Structure 1
Amino acid sequence: MTDDGTLSEEARERLADVVRLQPTKNKELQEAWGLESGSEVHSYLEGELKEYYYRDDNSLIRATADAADLVDVEPGVESGDGDDGGVPAVIRVPELESQVFAVVAGPNDRSESVVSVLNKVRDAYDVDPPVEDVRQALQNLRRKGVVEVIYRTVPTFRLAAHRAEIDVEISDS
């Protein structure tokens, strides 16, 4: 942090990494930042970003809501090469969201209802999540920019881009 309390350019970039990679660990940030050890990561976090991160119940590093607003980065999303506000190249999501992503209608297909997606998840993964959890997963994927909503009689969903254009990483949350 600079003397006036604002973040340096390096600190802002590293904070964006925390937001983008969350939930994350010292090791992942060590690799991203080119540091020698996890203790260097811890020292940097405590010295420069203390008010912008916290550790969750599993000791994973997460950014505060203020941090995400400050760096204007969507949590768990890595933008593509063009960085034009289009679909992200990588998303980090919980397992149910990855399952929903895998079965929801493609960008050239007819969009489908939450119940349709729920039934496809049940069939594909032999799980039975509550319909509200599937609805929430679809909304989270929409906020990440990889699913779009089409309003018909009921809101329906489909991918915003082809699955092959987006890598899905399952997070610990």
Structure 2
Amino acid sequence: MGLSEEELDRLADVVRLQPTKNAELQEAWGMESGSEVHSYLEGHLTDYYFRDDDSLIRATSEAADLVDVEPGVESDAEAEPGGVPDTIRVPELQAQVFEVVAGPEERSQSVVSVLNDLRETFGVDPDVDDVRRALRSLERKNVVEVVYRTVPTFRLAVERDAVTVEVAE
């Protein structure tokens, strides 16, 4: 039995956003809770995803072939696990965050500082929690690092031009 149109769309989201968490899919799918996301994955897509050693959600290679979309992270075939990806496909807010967050040689920024730079650069006003989630998602993709000071702060883990950022539709 094949997957429904909704299941295929959601599977495409898993492929595009990987590695991801319940909260990121919850936001993408407009669900009420991470538990609802987990139930959906187990009930509808159980054969097409898995959780890695860090409990992040990843699509199987069969899933990527089935939906014919590119995975969210593309690395060199020779790259080590945890290596820097060549290309990331992310939602628009994450692409904007990548553009404004401090570079690898600059002083790291707080979430609020990144939010202020987003407002100034793009004229957007996202919720501070959305900015925090965007930074953490970019951290999971190994392109942003956390520097712990009084509060967690962030900066790029790579040179900005070392990674191609594509906005996921």
Q: TM-score range by the shorter chain?
A: 0.5 to 0.7
Residues 1:78 and 2:68 aligned together? no
**2:117 & 2:77 partners in 1: Cα distance?**
32
**Paired residues of 1:20 and 1:77 also in contact (CA < 8 A):** no
2:134 aligned partner: 137
Letter in 1 for 2:47: Y
**Higher Rg:** 1
TM-score, normalised relative to structure 2 = 0.61
1:158 aligns with 2:148: no
Matching residue within 103, 111, 115 for 1:114: 111
Query: 1:52, 1:22 → 2: CA distance?
Result: 17
Q: Which residue identity is paired with 2:140?
A: R
Residue 82 of structure 1, CA deviation: 3.9
Pairwise CA RMSD: 2.7
Equivalence for 2:39? none
The aligned amino acid for 1:149 is V
Q: Distance in 2 between matches of 1:69 and 1:119?
A: 34
Q: Does structure 2 retain, via aligned residues, the 8 Å contact 1:142–1:148?
A: yes
Percent identity over the alignment?
Answer: 53
Task: Summarize the Cα distance change of 1:20–1:133 in structure 2 as closer, same or farther, 3 Å threshold.
Answer: closer
Structure 1 residue 80, shift from structure 2 partner: 3.1
- Call closer, same or farther: CA 1:127–1:151 in 2, change over 3 Å: same
Distance in 2 between residues matched to 1:157 and 1:123, nearest whole Å: 18
Q: Name 2:58's counterpart in structure 1.
A: 68
2:94 to 94, 97, 101: 97
Is the 2:87–2:163 Cα contact (8 Å) retained in structure 1?
A: yes
Q: How many residues align?
A: 117
* Rounded Cα–Cα distance in structure 2 between residues aligned with 1:127 and 1:65: 35
| 1:78–1:89 contact (8 Å) kept in structure 2 | yes
How big is each residue's C-alpha offset from its partner over 1:81-125, in whole Å with a ceiling of 9 and x where there is no partner?
641232111001000000000000000111010000000001010
Where structure 2 has 5 or more consecutive residues not aligned to the other structure, the ranges are 1-11, 18-44, 52-56, 62-70
Q: In the TM superposition, what is the alpha-carbon distance from 1:19 to its structure 2 partner?
A: 8.9
Shift of 1:69: 7.1
C-alpha spacing 1:89/1:20, structure 2 compared with 1 (3 Å): farther
Specify the code of the residue in structure 2 equivalent to 1:68: R
Pairing 1:24-43 to 2, within 5 Å after superposition: none
SS in 2 for 1:22: helix
Determine if contact 2:90/2:165 at 8 Å carries over to the other structure.
yes
Answer yes or no: is 1:52 the counterpart of 2:47: yes
Q: Given that residues 19 and 68 in structure 1 are in contact (C-alpha distance below 8 angstroms), is that contact kept between their aligned partners in structure 2?
A: no
Secondary structure of residue in 1 paired with 2:138: helix
Contact 1:103 1:121 in 2 (8 A): yes
In structure 1, list runs of 5 or more residues that go unmatched: 1-17, 24-49, 54-63
